[in-house]
Structure formats: C-alpha cells, structure tokens
C-alpha cells in the first residue's frame, strides 16, 4: 500500500506535529480575525447612515441621547423602544432577556415598528421555558435555536403559596415540543467537573455514558478526595434538620481560607432548610457571608455552577423515630431530573450531609425514580475511593478498539486511561502513577466526525487546558517493523 501511495510513509511523528501546529495556528488566527470582524461590523452598524446638520453636528442620536442623559422622568424602556427602536437596535444589536420581557418589550410597536427585529433568537435553558411563553417569540426573529437539557428541570408553577412543595405543577417544556419537529444535536463535551467522579453519576444514569470527559490533571492527582460524606443523626421536624445544618456550617468553618475566595454552593432539598442554613451562616460570619457563597434550594440551582458544593438532604427520622413518607420535590414528578441537577453543579468538590440511609426507605418509596436515584447518588458519595493508578479499571466504560492494545504495546509506559472517554491511553511511571502525558491517536470515532478541527485542534487545546501534555501515536506507526515511540 505504501508503494502504491508514497505519501503514506511521510506521515511520521515529526511531520504530523509540524502540520498539526500549523493547523492550530491557522485556526487560532481565524478565530481572532472573526472576533475582530464582528467587532468592526457592530461599530459600522452604529455609524451607518449617520445624519449631520449644516454645521456638521451629529443629529442621528440626538433625541436618544437627551433621553439617556435625563436624571428623572425617563421614559419606560418599552416606550423608548417604540420611539427610538431603530437607533437602539443599531447601537445594541444583541439583547439578553427572559421570554416574558421579550414579549413585553418587542411585540407590536415595541421594536420601532419592526415586526421581526432579530435575525436570530436563542432560547437557552429551554427545558424550563413554558411553550406558551416561547411560541409567540417566533414572530420576532427570522431564525431560532433551542438549547437545553431534557434531563434537567421542567417548567413548574407554584400555586396557593410561594414555594409550596405540594402545589407544584409541571408541564412539557418548549425544548420537548421543539424537539419533535427540529433536528436534534447532542453536545457531548463536558467542561465543568475537574474530576471525572463529579460527573460520573449523571453520565451513567442520565446520558448513557456518552459524555466526553477529561479530568483536570491537578485535581485528579491531588491527595484530596472529590467527595466528603457525613452521616448526621439529626431529627426532621417542620421541614428542617437543625443538627444536619449545624454540621454543614461547622464543616464550612473548618475549611481553609481559600474557600472564602471561591464560589461555594450550599444546597438544600427544600426551602425551609435553605433558610435555616442562611440564618446559621449569617450568625457564624456576623452578617459578612463571603461574596461567592450562595444558599439555594433545589428548585433554584439549575444553570448554576460552583467550585465547591455542600448538600443538605434534610430528611431524617422524626422525634418519634419515623421516616417521612415523602421527600418533597424529590418524590414529585421530575424528581429524577432534580437529582441530576443536584449531582452536577460542582467543579472540584462535593460535601454531602445526610440522615438518609437505605434501610430507612420503605419499598413503596424505593419505586419512586427520584428517591431511587438520590439513594444511588448518596451511595456513590459514601463509597467513593480515590483512584490514581491505571490498573484500577473502574471509571468510563471503554468500547472495543483493536488498536488500543497495539498502541499500549508500541508506546513505552502506555496504559489504558479508564477515567476519561476523550482520551483512553496515558503514560505511566515505573511505580504505576501517571506522568501527566496522554497519548493521542487517529481513532476511528474521531475520523468519522463531521469536522477534523474537533479532534485535531479543539480537543488538543482542551487537553492542554486541563493541564495534561499530549503525545501522538498514529496508526501507521503500528505497522510491523516500525520503531517504538
């Protein structure tokens, strides 16, 4: 074959690295030029068709400028858009707002008489957008993109009293209905968790193991575990578990000072416990809770992410020794999706404080999807052990690849890397620990992708951003007679 195609032997490691570096440089330059061009187009749009009077003074934005300089009696934004919509859209071509605000501001005469003022409308977190709010927005744009995750929270409505758990009504989202008629593309790259264990639960139970995960090198090889599990023998009463909340706050106060500079999410399964946690933290810090710390309950955390997450599961035996027959939002429809949201907020560390034990849950409650998955998540946090050596094959399930074993035999020190689905081979030292270098190769699933820039440019940049170094081993180098790498 090499005699028939003389270019094949030229694909040696050095040649490949030179060509790859050139491709990465060209792509970086292209992206920089794209940013520059977009900035120039935005500035040109604001200067297009400017009008001046005979003295050379600008008159195009005079009325808008007068309105914006007012100290009082300013026009409401909707009225300002009706009068100065054309000027505002030239200066501000991109708008970020909720569906309700968009309908209020831009429908009718709100966009200066333009029935479709936007070229593109992007619906983000659309799994939480009710269809009735999203559908009227379609007339405001020429194209639209619907972005969301079916495995996260659906829209919900709260009746009778604010945040009453028993009064939640869920409905199918705009994401669900749009997915019935539009092409569907799943984004497989995962960027948040710096240790594969922090997203392993969601990946296994909700995404079929399809997420492409690469742990951060510093976090992965650190001595600290990504999980802290503490069983608290508290008492559940009136929606609160005081002992569990006190244990969580005591844990936070014991952490190093660096935690106060990080984003920390203190999450509870109901609102009453989140209010109790906030009061205890307020007292502990004399009203000066660190700026990056947030106390939230389960319905408030979709879309959030934190460096460290502390979870209070609240539910435990009552003073009479009985366990509750329901776990609030977890037991309601959509409880499984709430567990997914709860389990996937952290970048570096998760601390779980719970009074829930499997033997306390009756057979009827175990059949509930939300309760069953919550128990599985708690078991993972409890039983997790730090894995550093490649001979421990737990982790991402790797599919069959006949060249993987050949590559490991061909590259000195190569071992299967079981903790990341993006890269499946890593280099190790004599004692079995990782060197920090990953082996990249021309895998079949890469070559079958829609664009080569993904595996050969963006994935390489991702590997480097996660703190790893890369070494290439191409399949031609595995042919008999080729020297080992």
113-167 pLDDT tens trace: 566 789 999 999 999 899 988 998 998 889 999 999 999 888 865 443 444 444 4
Of the residues 150, 179, 208, the one at which a domain ends: 179
pLDDT digits (tens, 9 = 90+) for 338-359: 999 999 999 999 999 999 998 8
Check whether residue 279 and residue 357 sit in a common domain. Answer: yes
- 368 and 401 in a single domain? The answer is no
Query: Which region, left, alpha or beta, applies to residue 467 given φ > 0 means left and ψ of -120 to 50 means alpha?
Result: left
Is residue 73 one of the residues assigned to a domain? no
Number of domains in the chain: 4
Residue 457 CB coordination number (10 Å) = 18
Reduce the DSSP state of residue 61 to 3 states and report it. Answer: coil
| Helix, coil or strand: residue 230 | strand
Same domain as 464, residue 423:
yes
Which residue, among 481, 436, 2, has the nearest Cα to 220 in the 3D structure?
Answer: 436
- Distance (Å, whole) CA 466 – CA 378: 28
Q: What is the CATH number of the domain that holds 253?
A: 3.40.50.300
pLDDT tens column, 355-402: 999 888 888 888 999 999 999 999 999 988 655 444 444 444 556 677
Q: What are phi and psi of 140, to 5 degrees?
A: -85, -10
The pTM of the full predicted model, rounded to 2 decimals, is: 0.83
Helix boundaries (H) for 267-412: 271-284, 335-343, 363-366, 369-383, 402-410
Measured in degrees and rounded to the nearest 5, phi and psi for residue 428 equal -130, 160
Residue span of the structural domain in which 236 resides? 227-383
Q: In this structure, is residue 14 part of a structural domain?
A: yes
SS3 for 258-295 is HHHHCCEEEEECCHHHHHHHHHHHHHHCCCCCCCCEEE
Which residues are bridge partners to 158 per DSSP? Answer: 168
In 413-484, alpha helices (H)? 444-447, 453, 459-465
DSSP 153: P
pLDDT tens, position by position, for the chain (485 residues)? 667 766 665 555 567 778 888 988 999 999 999 999 999 999 998 888 888 888 888 888 888 888 888 888 888 888 888 888 888 888 889 999 999 899 888 876 555 556 678 999 999 999 989 998 899 899 888 999 999 999 988 886 544 344 444 445 457 899 999 999 989 888 888 889 998 889 989 999 999 888 888 888 888 777 778 999 999 999 999 999 999 999 999 999 999 999 999 999 999 999 999 999 999 999 999 999 999 999 999 999 988 999 999 999 999 999 999 999 899 999 998 899 999 999 999 999 999 999 999 888 888 888 999 999 999 999 999 988 655 444 444 444 556 677 787 888 888 888 887 666 678 888 888 887 888 888 888 766 666 666 677 888 888 888 999 999 988 887 777 766 655 65
Are 277 and 378 in a shared domain?
yes
Pairing of strands 227-231, 346-354: parallel
Strand, helix or coil for residue 94: coil
């Amino acid at each position: 074959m090499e005699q028939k195609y003389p270019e094949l032997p030229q694909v040696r490691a050095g040649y490949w690295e030179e060509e790859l570096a050139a491709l990465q440089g060209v792509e970086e330059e292209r992206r920089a030029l794209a940013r520059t061009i977009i900035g120039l187009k935005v500035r040109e749009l604001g200067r297009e068709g400017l009008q001046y009077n005979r003295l050379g003074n600008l008159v195009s934005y005079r009325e808008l400028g007068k309105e914006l300089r007012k100290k009082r009696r300013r026009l409401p934004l909707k009225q300002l858009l009706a009068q100065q919509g054309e000027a505002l859209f030239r200066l501000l071509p991109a708008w970020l707002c909720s569906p309700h605000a968009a309908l209020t501001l831009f429908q009718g005469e709100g966009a200066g008489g333009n029935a479709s003022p936007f070229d593109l409308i992007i619906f983000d977190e659309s799994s939480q957008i009710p269809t009735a709010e999203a559908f009227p927005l379609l007339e405001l744009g020429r194209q639209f993109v619907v972005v969301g995750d079916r495995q996260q929270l659906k829209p919900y409505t709260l009746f009778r009293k604010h945040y009453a758990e028993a009064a939640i009504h869920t409905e199918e989202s705009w994401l669900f209905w749009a997915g019935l008629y539009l092409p569907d593309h799943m984004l497989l790259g995962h960027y948040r968790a710096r240790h594969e264990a922090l997203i392993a639960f969601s990946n296994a139970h909700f995404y079929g193991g399809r997420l492409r995960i690469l742990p951060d090198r510093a976090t992965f090889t650190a001595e600290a575990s990504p999980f802290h599990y503490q069983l608290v023998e508290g008492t559940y009463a009136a929606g609160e578990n005081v002992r569990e909340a006190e244990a969580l706050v005591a844990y936070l106060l014991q952490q190093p000072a660096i935690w106060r500079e990080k984003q920390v999410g203190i999450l509870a399964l109901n609102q009453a416990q989140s209010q109790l946690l906030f009061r205890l933290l307020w007292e502990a810090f004399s009203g000066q809770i660190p700026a990056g710390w947030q106390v939230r309950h389960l319905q408030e955390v979709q879309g959030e992410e934190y460096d460290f997450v502390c979870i209070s599961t609240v539910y435990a035996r009552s003073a009479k020794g009985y366990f509750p027959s329901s776990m609030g939002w977890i037991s309601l429809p959509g409880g499984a999706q709430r567990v997914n949201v709860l389990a996937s907020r952290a970048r570096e560390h998760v601390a779980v404080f719970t009074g829930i034990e499997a033997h306390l849950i009756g057979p009827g409650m175990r059949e509930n999807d939300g309760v069953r998955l919550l128990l599985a998540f708690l078991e993972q946090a409890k039983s997790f052990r730090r894995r550093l050596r490649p001979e421990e094959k737990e982790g991402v399930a790797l599919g069959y690849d006949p060249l993987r074993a050949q590559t490991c035999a061909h590259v000195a020190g190569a071992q299967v890397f079981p903790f990341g689905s993006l890269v499946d081979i890593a280099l190790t030292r004599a004692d079995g620990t990782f060197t920090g270098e990953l082996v990249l190769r021309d895998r079949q699933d890469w070559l079958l992708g829609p664009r080569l820039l993904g595996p050969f440019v963006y994935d390489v940049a991702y590997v480097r951003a996660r703190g790893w170094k890369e070494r290439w081993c191409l399949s031609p180098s595995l042919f008999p007679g080729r020297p080992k790498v």
